[in-house]
Amino acid sequence: MSRLTLLLPAALISLATLSAQQAQTPQKVTPPSYAAIPAAAAKQPNPVKSSPESLARAKKWWNLDCAMCHGSAGDGKGSLAADMKLQIADFTDPASLKDRTDGEIFYIIKTGHQDMPPEGTRIKPEENWDLVNYVRSLAKKPAPESKP
């Protein structure tokens, strides 16, 4: 009986220590993948018309929150991305977003993606739509083909 009396408290102490260690270990929260974008969000139309005013409003947010990773030109070569050795899409390439709807881009900005933190409620929905317009505007237009 004395062995059981000694083993039981030791087992409880070990369990308590293990539980405390697990509780102190920070859990990394992984933002959703593209596959996790709800269909309703993907189908959501952009209610903000792309205009010089919309792009000017978005450029302020872009320079404040996005350019450090995505680059000021949207080429994915921001200083923080380089420091963290991140591979970021080149939005100046028209092909990079050709398969993405405005609703998907809105959702990604709002909820984040991989290492990109979410804007969440920091920006108003209209400002998020402005950013969608701005991201779309970064794509370089293909050069017209020259005729021989």
Name, in order, each residue with C-beta under 8 angstroms of 47's C-beta and a sequence gap of 6 or more. 129
**What's the confidence (pLDDT) of residue 120?**
92
Is the pLDDT assigned to residue 106 strictly greater than 60?
Answer: yes
Q: Say what the pLDDT of residue 38 is.
A: 95
pLDDT of residue 22: 52
User: Could you tell me what percent of the chain has a pLDDT over 70?
Assistant: 72
Reported as a pLDDT band with limits 50, 70 and 90, residue 3 is low
With bands split at pLDDT 50, 70 and 90, how would you rate the model's confidence at 21? low
Contact of 73 with 138, CB cutoff 8 Å: yes
- Say whether domain 36-137 belongs to CATH 1.10.760.10: yes
